[in-house]
Structure 1
């Protein structure tokens, strides 16, 4: 009961700030009085309700499919690269600059190429998602491995532990907080990546739907799928945070 009360008090400032921002947005939209430029929050909610049929039955599942596949590939790729760079100094020197360089290329420049190569299939959007998402997982987990103190490894070596035992008994538990932090960063980025891919070339999905509403000068229709994406991202991050608290109990003590 005390923990729930403490969590509620911790969320109170965020809720107050959110309410203040929504009120300011509502007043600014009423002052402009041009829904195609700046729709009000109430107009967006009304439009979201009006469009609930196509949004929830067709476009949301399409976007979530891209997010799920892209995030799964990013987790496997990111963890694989982090582990490889941790166990091999040669691999670290070869891969680390390339991983950094991969983030210097504008995604909006590559997305049309992916569409050209793969058409409007799901894989063009998945590649955009992976390109954006694998980076924080790789770097954060790799930094977590590097943060494990050498003295602890040497101590386990003196006790007769081999590299496999050190990896699973020392490094994996030590890197778990970094892994969950990386996933909490990657989830919103995966949704952004899916939306960007759909915006630039798709036949379904929330990003595609938002772009279609823009061509019709429907400001509230543009924001409705964006609001839905934001809610989904926050829900996913909440699920990851709950899993983190269950798996890393010592961090909450």
Structure 2
């Protein structure tokens, strides 16, 4: 930045960003914890809803035909159009941020897990039926374990998407969080604070993505190369 004489308010030097992180740590950290809690909570909420939806659709074709279009709708609607509605319905607190993050995470988890359930080896299912296994036993004991590698891949995609919902929710309406902090800093042309917030957000995202990857490999220990 110094070589090309770019003004700091346009693009601050890395040293300036690091200095801001250090000097304003006490201001950034509380907001960072709020955003990380929204990311983690949204991930848990979205994953739980996605797994439940995939299991329901795999168990009952009628439910799959009913919920299938809804999955597409959740991704087709612009997130910036949904976020203000969630704030109106759920308020400015944590609930609207969890719902926003969960909505974004829901699609990759449900679709990848459902695809894994569909691709279960038919020979295993036929063998289970020959041994008089019930539909529930086939689903829980054969199809779910076979679909876990696909679920693991979906979880990693979901972890990478978790910050999007949290930050957008904070931009639309919030009293704290990195998104609100960066919004205010941008309005004051404090670009170093914006980049400091982005740096913390990137660190959190990588940490969450790595943690989900480790847990996925532990969960699907027999097929680590698929994750």
TM value normalised by structure 1: 0.83
Offset, 1:252: 3.6
Once the two structures are superposed, the pairs formed by residues 18-29 of structure 1 within 5 Å of their partners are none
Q: Distance in 2 between matches of 1:55 and 1:139?
A: 36
Aligned to 1:39: 12
- Are 1:32 and 1:38, in contact at CA under 8 Å, matched by a contact in 2? no
Offset, 1:30: 4.3
Once the two structures are superposed, the pairs formed by residues 137-156 of structure 1 within 5 Å of their partners are 137-156=109-128
Q: Distance in 2 between matches of 1:130 and 1:244?
A: 19
Aligned to 2:61: 89
Question: Is 1:183 the equivalent of 2:155?
Answer: yes
Offset, 1:194: 0.3
TM value normalised by structure 2: 0.92
SS of equivalent to 1:39: coil
- Are 1:30 and 1:40, in contact at CA under 8 Å, matched by a contact in 2? no
SS of equivalent to 2:110: helix
Structure 1 runs of 4+ aligned residues shifted over 4 Å read: none
Offset, 1:53: 0.7
Q: Distance in 1 between matches of 2:71 and 2:97?
A: 20
Q: Which moved more, 1:217-226 or 1:235-244?
A: 235-244
SS of equivalent to 1:103: helix
Q: Provide Cα deviations, 1:111-149, integer angstroms capped at 9, x if missing partner.
A: 122223333211222221122111111111111101112
Q: Distance in 2 between matches of 1:194 and 1:85?
A: 28
- RMSD value, Cα: 1.7
TM-aligned CA distance change 1:152 to 1:97, over 3 Å: same
Q: Distance in 1 between matches of 2:171 and 2:138?
A: 46
Which protein, 1 or 2, shows the higher relative CO under an 8 Å CA cutoff with sep ≥ 6? 2
Gaps of 5+ in 1: 1-26
Aligned to 1:53: 26
TM-aligned CA distance change 1:243 to 1:127, over 3 Å: closer
SS of equivalent to 1:244: helix
Aligned to 2:210: 238
Offset, 1:32: 4.8
Question: Is 1:135 the equivalent of 2:107?
Answer: yes
- Are 1:129 and 1:193, in contact at CA under 8 Å, matched by a contact in 2? yes
2:193 pairs, out of 208, 215, 221, with 221
Q: Which moved more, 1:92-101 or 1:69-78?
A: 69-78
Offset, 1:44: 1.7
Question: Is 1:75 the equivalent of 2:55?
Answer: no
2:143 pairs, out of 168, 171, 179, with 171
Q: Provide Cα deviations, 1:75-128, integer angstroms capped at 9, x if missing partner.
A: 121111100110111111111011101211111112122223333211222221
User: What is the total number of aligned residue pairs between the two structures?
Assistant: 225
